[in-house]
Amino acid sequence: MPQRANAPHPGTGGGKPPRHVAIIMDGNGRWAKARHLPRIAGHRKGVEAVRRISRAARELGIEVLTLYAFSSENWRRPEEEVRDLMGLLRRFLQTEAEDLIREDVRLRVIGEYRALSADLVAMIDETVARTQRNHGPMLVIALNYGSQAEITAAARRLATDVASGGLIPDEIDEARFERALATHDLPPLDLMIRTSGEQRLSNFLLWQAAYAELMFVDTLWPDFDKAALEAALEGFAARHRRFGGL
């Protein structure tokens, strides 16, 4: 059976750092509740953790770090909390843009982020554009992202190509489908980490995680630091990745 075009090869876990790490950043609210603080205080600490871990990832040689910042389901949260989260995103873009440029980091955003407010979309587009000449590691932020919606959109694009006569159904294989995803030009996902002890993927990178190593850690996201990331990488290095083989 032919291997997917960008599929990793068996054994790449042993002793080697992952190229692409994704993190479900969970636990901000519980961090705040344990300290009798409002939820926004947990989210502020969570932004500090984003800065800390994005730098740690670069120091540890990770090529791509993908962070689940705001899911398509997060709109169900109270309006005040959503407004606070958008404010923190604005502040992050304002304060981090120059550091990303200086540290040669490329910023990417995946998800339906254009549904956000016009001023925020403009800030995102400007920051992404300013970092595109960089050649270093990549920071990918998933905003208003849902994996089922991403997969559905990819299927719709391929169906449109078939309907227009530009594609025949037999030409649709795994590699062709992957090229229709938002992550088509990224390395395969090697490691998925979720903080706070919850053990589910929450509609994040479902296709991409097919053969990723999964780690669920009890640490709440605001407390996740370089040592915790190093421990996850050590655990990854100890695993033997077979991808269905022996």
Q: What DSSP character marks residue 240?
A: -
pLDDT at 240: 80
Q: Which of 8, 46, 21 is nearest to 204 (CA)?
A: 21
Q: Is residue 245 part of a domain?
A: no
Q: What residue type is assigned to position 103 of the chain?
A: E
- pLDDT, tens digit, 9 for 90 and up, residues 25-47: 999 999 999 999 999 999 999 99
The annotation status of 72 as a binding-site residue, yes or no, is yes
Q: Is residue 216 part of a domain?
A: yes
- pLDDT, tens digit, 9 for 90 and up, residues 129-142: 999 999 999 999 99
What's the domain count of the chain? 1
- Tokens representing 145 are 């992202």
- Tokens representing 69 are 């910042």
Q: What CATH number is attached to the domain comprising 27?
A: 3.40.1180.10
Helix (H) or strand (E) holding 107: strand 106-110
60: containing domain? 20-237
Q: CA torsion angle for 194, 17, 61, 128 (degrees, to 10)?
A: -50
pLDDT at 241: 79
The annotation status of 200 as a binding-site residue, yes or no, is yes
Q: Is residue 3 part of a domain?
A: no
Catalytic residues: 26, 74
Q: Is residue 7 part of a domain?
A: no
The annotation status of 81 as a binding-site residue, yes or no, is no
- Tokens representing 236 are 């990854």
Distance CA 12, CA 19 (A): 10
Q: Is residue 106 part of a domain?
A: yes
